[in-house]
A and B are shown apart, each in its own frame.
Chain A
Amino acid sequence: MRRALWCLAAAGFVFGVIDLALILTSEFAPDRELSTALGLLIGWGFVGAGLFAWARRPDNRVGMLMTATGFAWFLAGLSLSDIPLLFVIGAAFGSLYFATAIHMLLAAPQGRLQSRSEKRIVGLGYVLTALVVPVLFVFVDPERDMECVDCPENVLYIASSETLVRVVSVAVNFVGLLLVVFVLVSLVLRLLRASAPERRLYAPVYAAGVALMITLIAILVLQSTSVSNEADGVVSTVALVPLALMPYLFLASFVRARMFQTGAVGELIARLGEAPHPGDLRDALAQALGDPSLELVYWLPDDKRFVDAVGAPFDLPSDGSGRAVTKVEQEGECVAAIVYDAMLRDARDHVRAVGAAAALALKNERLDAELRAKVGELRSSRQRMLSIGLEERRRLERDLHDGAQQRLVSMALNLRVARDKLRDEPDAAEGLLEGASHELDAALAELRELARGIHPAVLSDRGLDTALETLASRAPVPVELAALPGERLPEAVELAAYYVVSEALTNVAKYADASHAVVDIGRDNGRLVVAVSDDGVGGADPEQGTGLRGLADRLAVIEGRLEVDSERGRGTKITARIPCG
């Protein structure tokens, strides 16, 4: 790549020298000194600045388009040659550089045309300058149509058609005028709408583009109204000034950005040294990058998501949203991400440098954001726990009311009936007493079941292993207990683990359509890892339904986490990580 660019640089230099020689020896070139000086200034300027930008940003087409404009300019210079073939090539393709310059202006600064209408306009420019005008040239008599008595003969000339040349020339001028007006309007709109970083970097380039388009409009209007050749010549020369300035303005904006960036990093480091208050960091980075819209978001490795400074979840913007993202890493670990105006995308290295300078401060602020996120999470999980608690109490009241209480009422009444019948109808009384005995058993069983829902006695009496064995034996689906802790754990941990397995096995029985389930409990880095997997239909969503959500909330209270892996058709695996206290 680099070698190819050097070859292009050499070719540009040689092309310039050839143009110089041709112009100096030309017998008909007007304003020889001015043409020569401006010609070289413009050609070499575009080729040089273009190659520099191309080398620095190979993925940005602006550099390539600038280089192409330089070569197209040298190509136009051939029209001043006395050698007929070179003269014809130069004259036929003499306006190609307009098309490349317009392409470059519309594609800047990101190197891509933004809209379909821009693509059409640029395409039209190429059709006019690289196809219509060269084809028309086979009908052009330089002496008659270009009013150039000393020009060499047109070696492509095949037929004379003065009317055709006139009509097509007027049409080309008219379409060219519309095209230039479109570019002018686009550039003015860009100047008006530019974000702060864009304006800072590219306003001079846009301004030069606007000036060039205005002078081009003047040229085209003068040509079509056929005022004086003198006025035409003056305006044409004036138009060269913004064109000549353009590559240098591009270069200046590039260098200015680099200088600004270098200074900004130094200033940022100095500001960070003053121990910024929380929240100041964003302002410092926004200033360092010249982008007031800059956002700082922090990576929470436990939650595997980004949050903003107040701890609210943040989704990174997608491509084409006008925002760019640079992640900041420290010791190979993602700490934060800087979200900024996509106009600064070319300054990605700079953003990275700014991020690196601020990495330590970012790490500190991340802790702050993490804390806020946790507080927010706890607040909402506390709310949910509260409503779950109320709902559980309501369910308990309902179960007691519809079950044991109803049985006990009927039993109490039956005992009264039995007492009344004891003398006269002893058989009936005996039947009632027997019935009451069954009812009492049933009521006791129901109460026992309810109590187990509140707190399983077997867990506190005999520990997690036995409690889980009981759960497994009662489950309607075969359950394999692959590994159990084998020792007593803090009560809160055992209870949480028990509920994870209990809820997971309930879900397996209700929804999974599984043939068996596996419970696996191990330790990892000070946490109890409880995993329940099945070979069922999958597709469980913790956001839907209250079971898994409630479980996650129950775990959040003791700093535990719940992960649900349940791809449709591939079974479900529920993993809880519970700090062992």
Chain B
Amino acid sequence: MLLECEGFVVVGEAENGHAALRAVRELQPDLVLLDVQLPDIDGTEVAARLAEANGASPAVILTSSRDLQDIGALSGVRGFIPKSELSGAALEALL
């Protein structure tokens, strides 16, 4: 909603990592926003698989303060933004 106000178009939403991967295949978005923790696979894992499948959709991951542990490889991740700081400007700074 916030991003839509700032000129972004939200083309789709997904409720877990696998659904996100399917949705990206179908919708081919310019940008993917992910949480670190998802119900099935981690956001970083989703970003890595997206990067392997097609490098076109950069992923930005939203963080909360407990997310530092258990984060493995960061391939496919464009950057991290604290959840409370998510804004168009913060996104544009990473793109």
Contact = CB atoms under 8 A, between A and B. Distances in A.
Contacts of B66: 409
Interface of A: 401-403, 405-407, 409-410, 412-414, 416-417, 420, 428, 431-432, 434-435, 439
Most central of B67, B78, B80, B84 by chain A CB within 10 Å: B80
Contacts of B90: 435
A410 B81 contact: yes
B85 A416 contact: no
A400 to B, nearest CB: 8
Contact of B82 (A407, A428, A432, A434): A407
A432 B64 contact: no
Nearest to B69: A409
Given A413-B67, A435-B90, 13 more contacts: A405-B65, A407-B82, A409-B64, A409-B82, A410-B85, A412-B68, A413-B74, A414-B79, A414-B80, A417-B79, A420-B74, A431-B94, A435-B94
Nearest to A405: B65
18 contacts: A405-B65, A406-B65, A409-B66, A409-B67, A410-B63, A410-B80, A410-B82, A410-B85, A413-B61, A413-B68, A413-B74, A417-B74, A417-B80, A431-B93, A432-B79, A435-B79, A435-B93, A439-B82
B28 interface: no
Given A401-B65, A435-B93, A416 B74 contact: yes
Contacts of B85: 406-407, 410
Given A402-B84, A431-B93, A435-B94, A409 B63 contact: yes
B18 interface: no
A410 B68 CA distance: 8
Contacts of B87: none
A406 B84 contact: yes
Contacts of B67: 409, 413
A402 B65 contact: yes
B17 to A, nearest CB: 18
Interface in B51-79: 61, 63-68, 71, 74-75, 77-79
B80 A406 contact: no
Contacts of B77: 413, 417
A417 B63 CA distance: 14
Nearest to A402: B84
Contacts of A410: 63, 80-82, 85
A406 B82 contact: yes
Report, nearest first, the 9 A-B pairs whose CB atoms are least far apart.
A405-B65, A406-B82, A410-B80, A413-B80, A406-B65, A410-B63, A410-B82, A409-B68, A414-B80
Given A407-B82, A432-B79, A413 B65 contact: no
Contacts of B75: 420
Contacts of B83: 406
Contacts of A414: 79-80
B77 to A, nearest CB: 6
A405 B85 CA distance: 13
A326 B93 CA distance: 79
Given A414-B80, A435-B93, A435-B94, A406 B64 contact: yes
Contacts of A435: 79, 90, 93-94
Nearest to A438: B93
A407 B65 CA distance: 8
Contacts of A420: 74-75
B36 to A, nearest CB: 9
A439 B90 CA distance: 11
B60 to A, nearest CB: 10
Most central of B75, B82, B85 by chain A CB within 10 Å: B82
A431 B82 CA distance: 16
Interface in B23-72: 61, 63-68, 71
A409 B77 CA distance: 15
Most central of A405, A410, A431 by chain B CB within 10 Å: A410
A420 B71 CA distance: 14
Given A414-B79, A414-B80, A416-B74, A409 B65 contact: yes
A412 B65 CA distance: 11
A273 B42 CA distance: 86
